[in-house]
Chains A and B, each alone.
Chain A
Amino acid sequence: MATFKLKINKKTYSLEADPSMPLLWALRDLLGLTGTKYGCGIAQCGACTVHLNGEAVRSCSLPLSAVGDGEVVTIEGLSKNGDHPVQKAWEEVDVMQCGYCQAGQIMSAAALLSKNPNPGDEDIYNAMNGNICRCGTYLRIREAIKKAAAMK
């Protein structure tokens, strides 16, 4: 067990946990931030995507010991009222079906747009191919990313 001071969504959380515990489970089980989802636990599905210092990372495969004093942003902290351009575009395009994968999709998309405000199709594929949607909402995801890019 070790003590961690994590910077999440501009707040500092202090917690006791096993250093090998992935950030995902600390968020979900210890901090009550359940917006970040579990899908595979092995960095294959993207459901658990959060931002670490602005980069999209798979929190299921990121041990607490590797988070350090990095700035973590989760879906709950992406915007105050769900009004980040990506969130707005997601709502406008009505992307979701079951909705379970969408927090991860939104976080991957937001990281993409912060680096590349006008992504082309290949850029979108590269950024989004790590996020599975079993419901098959991929076309709407692409459309929403383009819409969000146009909003900025």
Chain B
Amino acid sequence: MEIIKTHYNRRSFLKVSAAAGGGIMIGFNWLMSCAPSQEKAGLAMPDEWFDINAFLKIGNNGVVTIYSPNPEIGQNVKTSMPMIVAEELDVDWANVLVEQAPLNTVKYTRQLAGGSQSLRQGWKSLRIAGASARRMLMEAAAKQWQVSVAELTTDKGIIKHTSGKSVGYGEVASQAVSVAVPEEIPLKDPKDFKIIGKATKNVDGKKVIKGEPLFGLDVQREGMLIAMIVHAPAFGMRPKSVDDSAARSMPGIKDVFIITTLPDGIEAQWSDVNAFKELVVIVGDNTWNVMQAKKALNIEWETVSAPMSTGSYNKALSELLEKKADTPARKDGNPDEAFKKAAKVIERTYSAPFLSHNTMEPMNFFAHVTADGAELIGPIQTPEFLRKTVSSVIGLPEDKVTINMTRQGGGFGRRLYGHFGLEAAVISKKINAPVKVVYTREDDMTQGTYRPAYKVKYQAAIDKNNNLVGIKIRGAGIHESPVFANRFPAGAVDNYLVENHALESNISTGAWRAPRSNFMAIAEQCFLDEVAEALGKDPIDFRLELLERAATNPVGQNNDYDPARYAGVLKLVKEKSGWGEKKNGVHRGVSAYFCHNSYVAQVLDIVMKNSKPVIQKVWCAVDCGIVVNPEGAKNQLEGGIVDGLGHTLYSEMTFTDGKPDQTNFHNYKLIRNSEAPLEIECFFVENGVDPTGLGEPGLPPAGAALANALYAATGKRLTTQPFYKEEMTISPM
């Protein structure tokens, strides 16, 4: 049992309990007429709810509603975060309802979905929320019975006294609201967990299979209009004028105009990334009518900055790879000397294209702005940042801007950048009506905020005794270099040099599921495979040797990984996959990567069929500390692997004079059902460490394990993504 001070969260509890006064009924006015059903099958609704703290309310019949604070983008936090509250509250999960909390920075901290951080950063506060509510309920019962709290225990929402009498949470909830928030609170010993660690089904599962309106695009309101935007056809352009005469006369069309979403003088936040701040807007009564009229607009565009083409930025990035950086990002030992003396040098350059996020639900947002306030509803990973920008652009104080988050049809980083929400607010203010902004797939795919195009050059120096003595890494990318200076194998090699270059561009980029790692894992893990081969070593043993060095006698400072946990997942995957066994016609590859605080190692088997790989199985070993929801965790890992394999193999955005060449799924290929692995098996390291997230870490290693397996099959090292282009030229040995 761990005793924890509730202090750092005290402010929010005090606020809430003060506001809750003596058990007033609360309930968020969630969405609109066609709101999804709130009930859980077979669960009776209480007559009265008692607001215990920001995270939960308890009904007079013992039913509990837990508010999930963070945006749900498919990473399953709407199930896993409430599980943590329910665990410490000590209730039966069958009696728990879950609701998405609206944005409320007084009650909650970090209502953001990004960096796989929700569980890691929410872990303590969610436990405190559950544990302190439990304590307040126990105190209420103790007072009623005139006994000491020490004589009470709880189980599944029932408080029991040593004398044998018992009472349900629902019966004392009305008293608990006026109990002072405890200053210190004991937390459960993880070995006593009953909900955490149990496979728990997605709380929205039933609603999704019935097609209930859960997503931003499903929002409907009385009098709501539909708006679509037209952004410039190429990066570096903006609208000059619009001839809307034909469009205006088409059925259902209400208005056409040009807007600037971020006027001069408004300070942009990091989340305001947007290449197209000037937009043509068309408003009408339904989506199809607006789509049709949109095609009838005659827009004149003007060039404001030089357009880029794929050939031109690729050449510029390659040139950067030949240039020394002014200051290295990391330097250990004397890399130049080591390379000069080397008996053998291995060099390999890897590259990857721009990628679009392509969340299955395209960008959209609802807004209703009046003189008194702004109401926004929709899919957003950064509601707090959106509110700030909307507040300054619309000219309303932040407390007059409300944001409700819907379930989100994918995030992957795309909805960190809330320009679509801002656009909805600006448009609603202008037309003085409730409006839903809807992007077509084409609008979405050509809008930017892409995973940047990257290149990296790896060099390894091997001395005459066949030892790896030096590594040089030079990276270049659009807006940022992909290389993390202090990640593995930094710390394991005596002479080590990292240099970074960035290329400015008017093509906008943003975080894309496992930013930078999604490329670096592939480059690094393919290169280590090649080095291992040159040294005549088994690829897993070679990695373990490096990690052993980093653990026992690390080189340099700030190595930002734990070599023991890293080695742990490699050893686990080695054992589980039966590494070393040879199967006829089956080729395997391995890779391991650490990002977003979790460690993942994968072994992947392929067989070649008509010169194409069929992925037989992926073994995936993971260290993410305590696994809150094993079912959700496995689903995230499987998805990450499929997503990683698909993008490495098939996907890319290219540009001609600033204009995206890909516009929809007919020319942007995403992985399909038959191309996904036949089997994925996941294994977790059990170490009781506080949990870390899994939305991203499963993805980066997958492409490398595949490339290494393809090398085993064909003898060709793949370096240029998407691999399918190279793969066409390879055939089995």
Known interface pairs A87-B209, A90-B209, A141-B673. Does A25 touch B288 (Cβ–Cβ under 8 Å)? yes
Known interface pairs A22-B288, A98-B407, A101-B360. Does A32 touch B34 (Cβ–Cβ under 8 Å)? yes
Whether the Cβ atoms of A29 and B288 lie closer than 8 Å is yes
| Nearest-CB residue, chain A, relative to B667 | A44
Q: Which residues of B contact A82 (CB under 8 A)?
A: 206, 209-210
Could you mark each residue 84-125 of chain A with 1 if its beta carbon is under 8 Å from any beta carbon of chain B, else 0?
A: 000100110010111111110010000000000000000011
Pairs across A and B, CB under 8 Å, 14 listed:
A28-B218, A32-B220, A35-B210, A36-B211, A38-B217, A40-B664, A41-B664, A91-B201, A91-B209, A94-B202, A100-B359, A103-B211, A136-B638, A137-B635
| Residue from A94, A100, A125, A137 within 8 A of B639 (CB atoms) | A137
Whether the Cβ atoms of B226 and A135 lie closer than 8 Å is no
Could you mark each residue 193-222 of chain B with 1 if its beta carbon is under 8 Å from any beta carbon of chain A, else 0?
A: 000000001101110111111110110100
A17 to B372, CA, bound (A): 36
Secondary structure of the A contact surface, majority rule: loop
Could you mark each residue 17-48 of chain A with 1 if its beta carbon is under 8 Å from any beta carbon of chain B, else 0?
A: 11011100110111011111111111011010
Report which residue of A32, A36, A101, A135 has the largest number of chain B beta carbons within 10 angstroms of its beta carbon: A135
Whether the Cβ atoms of B642 and A41 lie closer than 8 Å is no
Top 9 nearest A-B pairs by Cβ distance? Answer: A35-B211, A98-B74, A100-B409, A136-B642, A75-B211, A125-B674, A136-B639, A44-B665, A99-B208
Q: What distance in Å separates the Cβ of A65 from its nearest Cβ neighbour in chain B? A: 13
| Nearest-CB residue, chain B, relative to A25 | B288
Q: What distance in Å separates the Cβ of A88 from its nearest Cβ neighbour in chain B? A: 8
Q: Which range contains the number of B residues in contact with the other chain?
A: 35 or more
Whether the Cβ atoms of A132 and B670 lie closer than 8 Å is yes
Whether the Cβ atoms of A21 and B288 lie closer than 8 Å is yes
Report which residue of B212, B412, B665, B680 has the largest number of chain A beta carbons within 10 angstroms of its beta carbon: B665
Whether the Cβ atoms of B220 and A138 lie closer than 8 Å is no
| Nearest-CB residue, chain A, relative to B438 | A38
Interface residues of B in 636-683 (CB under 8 A from A): 636, 638-643, 646, 664-666, 670-674, 676-677, 679-680
| Nearest-CB residue, chain A, relative to B212 | A35
Q: What distance in Å separates the Cβ of A120 from its nearest Cβ neighbour in chain B? A: 12
Could you mark each residue 50-77 of chain A with 1 if its beta carbon is under 8 Å from any beta carbon of chain B, else 0?
A: 0000000000000000000000001110
Whether the Cβ atoms of B251 and A135 lie closer than 8 Å is no
Secondary structure of the B contact surface, majority rule: loop
Q: Does B545 sit at the interface, judged by CB under 8 A?
A: no
Q: Which residues of A contact B289 (CB under 8 A)?
A: 18
Known interface pairs A90-B209, A101-B360. Does A140 touch B407 (Cβ–Cβ under 8 Å)? no
A87 to B206, CA, bound (A): 8
A122 to B641, CA, bound (A): 22
Q: Does B440 sit at the interface, judged by CB under 8 A?
A: yes
Whether the Cβ atoms of B672 and A129 lie closer than 8 Å is yes
Q: Does B175 sit at the interface, judged by CB under 8 A?
A: no
A108 to B636, CA, bound (A): 23
| B interface, CB within 8 angstroms of A | 34, 73-76, 201-202, 204-206, 208-215, 217-218, 220, 226, 251, 286-289, 291-292, 358-362, 407-412, 440-441, 631-632, 635-636, 638-643, 646, 664-666, 670-674, 676-677, 679-680
Q: Which residues of B contact A129 (CB under 8 A)?
A: 672-674
| Nearest-CB residue, chain A, relative to B637 | A136
Q: Which residues of A contact B292 (CB under 8 A)?
A: 18, 20
Q: Which residues of B contact A40 (CB under 8 A)?
A: 441, 664-665
Known interface pairs A25-B287, A25-B288, A44-B666. Does A134 touch B209 (Cβ–Cβ under 8 Å)? no
A82 to B206, CA, bound (A): 7
Q: Which residues of A contact B671 (CB under 8 A)?
A: 136, 138
A48 to B142, CA, bound (A): 56
Report which residue of A26, A45, A98, A137 has the largest number of chain B beta carbons within 10 angstroms of its beta carbon: A98
Whether the Cβ atoms of B210 and A28 lie closer than 8 Å is no
Q: Which range contains the number of A residues in contact with the other chain?
A: 35 or more
| Nearest-CB residue, chain A, relative to B361 | A100
A76 to B288, CA, bound (A): 22
Q: Which residues of B contact A1 (CB under 8 A)?
A: 251
Q: Which residues of A contact B201 (CB under 8 A)?
A: 91, 94
A106 to B410, CA, bound (A): 18
Q: Which residues of A contact B666 (CB under 8 A)?
A: 42, 44
Q: Does A151 sit at the interface, judged by CB under 8 A?
A: no
Whether the Cβ atoms of A135 and B410 lie closer than 8 Å is yes
Q: Which residues of A contact B362 (CB under 8 A)?
A: 38-39
Q: What distance in Å separates the Cβ of B54 from its nearest Cβ neighbour in chain A? A: 26
Known interface pairs A37-B361, A44-B666. Does A18 touch B215 (Cβ–Cβ under 8 Å)? no
Known interface pairs A136-B640, A136-B642. Does A76 touch B220 (Cβ–Cβ under 8 Å)? no
Add 12 more A-B contacts to A94-B631, A97-B74 (CB < 8 A).
A25-B287, A30-B286, A34-B213, A40-B664, A76-B211, A94-B632, A98-B74, A99-B204, A99-B208, A133-B360, A136-B640, A136-B671
Q: Which residues of B contact A32 (CB under 8 A)?
A: 34, 220
A100 to B631, CA, bound (A): 19
A134 to B642, CA, bound (A): 9
Q: Which residues of B contact A39 (CB under 8 A)?
A: 360-362, 441, 665
| Nearest-CB residue, chain A, relative to B199 | A94
A134 to B668, CA, bound (A): 13
A134 to B291, CA, bound (A): 24
Q: What distance in Å separates the Cβ of A19 from its nearest Cβ neighbour in chain B? A: 11
Whether the Cβ atoms of A138 and B209 lie closer than 8 Å is no
| Residue from A75, A87, A100, A125 within 8 A of B673 (CB atoms) | A125
Q: What distance in Å separates the Cβ of A104 from its nearest Cβ neighbour in chain B? A: 9
Q: Which residues of B contact A35 (CB under 8 A)?
A: 210-213
A97 to B76, CA, bound (A): 7
| Nearest-CB residue, chain A, relative to B629 | A94
Q: Which residues of B contact A137 (CB under 8 A)?
A: 635, 638-639, 642
Whether the Cβ atoms of A132 and B251 lie closer than 8 Å is no
Whether the Cβ atoms of A134 and B674 lie closer than 8 Å is no
Q: What distance in Å separates the Cβ of B654 from its nearest Cβ neighbour in chain A? A: 19
